[in-house]
């Protein structure tokens, strides 16, 4: 397992209450693992805490990365081990070209340009059109997201945390991002994908459902989604949409009904 959470509890900054309670799940190397759950369930909090942001310190539990205890490591130490978080948009630094920005995190300076080109191609940006453009408001929102993702890929991290990476994107572009996530996986990187959209989650191999700070289930995405729909009381919606795809072919109607009954009786 690349990442293991063992009983992780994260309190609010003033320590008055817990945002997430006693979370334990593992993320397999070279997989796409999503964390799903409604607004406010603690997904971002958990993601930032794995990255090591100081405002989201864990009060109980342990985080292991490739078997090593990283619970007390800071963000820089974790980044050195290969954990990254792609921000929603690249930081705007005056006068920085796309080439310069994407190359910032590349350690091996000898074939920097080649690596930048490769990273831009991975996110479906034509290098010749973008290398010399400045990171400013002339880039579209979707382009900025791709550039941020390219900069992350160029660092060759082992784990990429993506918090709602498709927020604000058009449906047609979202399809392209799902392909990009699969391509990142083929580059032997692992993705922890935070989303509350079931169509995005479909790309993942495994998922964890958070509900008001509690972990409900970690399993394959369709299994987790059934539980999500049952908890949210969205049976008809889910049957109509989520469970019609090929990926859910193994779940027959009786099985889905049983999970819904189980949730209703809780
Ligand atoms: N520093 C903080 N102090 C107090 N409460 C906080 C703090 N940070 C987050 N919270 C609360 O913790 C809860 C979980 O927030 P979080 O941002 O992790 O949710 P989320 O699952 O990412 O939601 P969304 O889908 O809307 O992004 C929310 O109720 C939020 O208001
Ligand atoms: Mg969030």
Q: How far is the CA of 7 from the centre of ligand 1 (A)?
A: 19
Judgement on whether residues 20 and 149 belong to the same structural domain of the protein: no
Q: Which residues line ligand 1 (CB under 6 A)?
A: 12-13, 19, 37, 39-45, 55, 196
DSSP 8-state symbol, 187: T
Q: Does residue 245 form part of some domain?
A: no
* SS3 per residue for 210-237: EECCEEEEEEEHHHHHHHHHHHHCCHHH
Q: How far is the CA of 249 from the centre of ligand 2 (A)?
A: 30
Instruction: Tell me which long-range contacts 120-129 makes (C-beta under 8 A, separation of at least 24).
Output: 120/147, 120/150, 122/150, 122/153, 122/180, 122/183, 122/184, 122/187, 123/147, 123/149, 123/150, 123/153, 123/180, 124/176, 124/179, 124/180, 125/150
Predicted local confidence at residue 247, as pLDDT: 47
pTM across the whole model: 0.91
Judgement on whether residues 30 and 132 belong to the same structural domain of the protein: no
Predicted local confidence at residue 198, as pLDDT: 78
Judgement on whether residues 70 and 25 belong to the same structural domain of the protein: yes
Judgement on whether residues 8 and 76 belong to the same structural domain of the protein: yes
DSSP 8-state symbol, 246: G
Q: Which residues span the domain enclosing 129?
A: 92-156
Predicted local confidence at residue 243, as pLDDT: 62
Judgement on whether residues 76 and 191 belong to the same structural domain of the protein: yes
Judgement on whether residues 36 and 137 belong to the same structural domain of the protein: no
Per-position pLDDT tens, the chain of length 266: 999 999 999 999 888 899 999 999 999 999 999 999 999 999 999 999 999 999 889 999 999 999 999 999 999 999 999 999 987 776 777 789 999 999 998 888 888 999 999 999 999 999 999 999 999 889 998 899 999 999 999 999 999 999 998 888 888 888 899 999 999 999 999 999 998 887 788 899 999 999 999 999 999 988 898 899 888 888 777 766 666 654 445 566 777 788 888 888 87
Judgement on whether residues 74 and 50 belong to the same structural domain of the protein: yes
Judgement on whether residues 117 and 19 belong to the same structural domain of the protein: no
């Amino acid at each position: 397992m690349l990442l293991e959470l063992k009983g992780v509890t994260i309190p609010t900054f003033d320590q008055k209450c817990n945002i997430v309670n006693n979370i334990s799940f593992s993320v397999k190397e070279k997989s796409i693992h999503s964390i799903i759950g409604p607004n406010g369930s603690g997904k971002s909090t958990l993601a930032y805490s794995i990255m090591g942001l100081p405002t989201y310190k864990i009060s109980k539990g342990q985080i292991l990365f490739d078997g090593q205890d990283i619970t007390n490591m800071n963000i820089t130490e974790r980044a050195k081990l290969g954990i990254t978080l792609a921000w929603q948009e690249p930081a705007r630094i005056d006068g920085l070209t796309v080439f310069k920005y994407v190359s910032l995190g590349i350690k091996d300076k000898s074939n920097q340009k080649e690596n930048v080109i490769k990273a831009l191609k991975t996110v479906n940006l034509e290098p010749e059109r973008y290398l010399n453009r400045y990171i400013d408001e002339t880039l579209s929102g979707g382009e900025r997201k791709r550039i941020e993702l390219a900069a992350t890929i160029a660092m060759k991290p082992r784990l990429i945390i993506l918090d709602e990476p498709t927020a604000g994107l058009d449906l047609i572009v979202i399809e392209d991002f799902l392909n990009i996530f699969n391509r990142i996986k083929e580059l032997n990187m692992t993705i922890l994908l935070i989303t509350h959209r079931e169509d995005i989650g479909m790309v993942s191999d495994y998922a964890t459902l958070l509900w008001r700070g509690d972990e409900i289930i970690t399993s394959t995405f369709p299994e987790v989604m059934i539980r999500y729909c049952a908890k949210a009381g969205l049976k008809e919606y889910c049957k109509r949409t989520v469970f019609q795809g090929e990926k859910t072919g193994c779940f027959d109607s009786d099985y889905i009904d049983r999970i819904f009954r189980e949730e209703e009786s809780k």
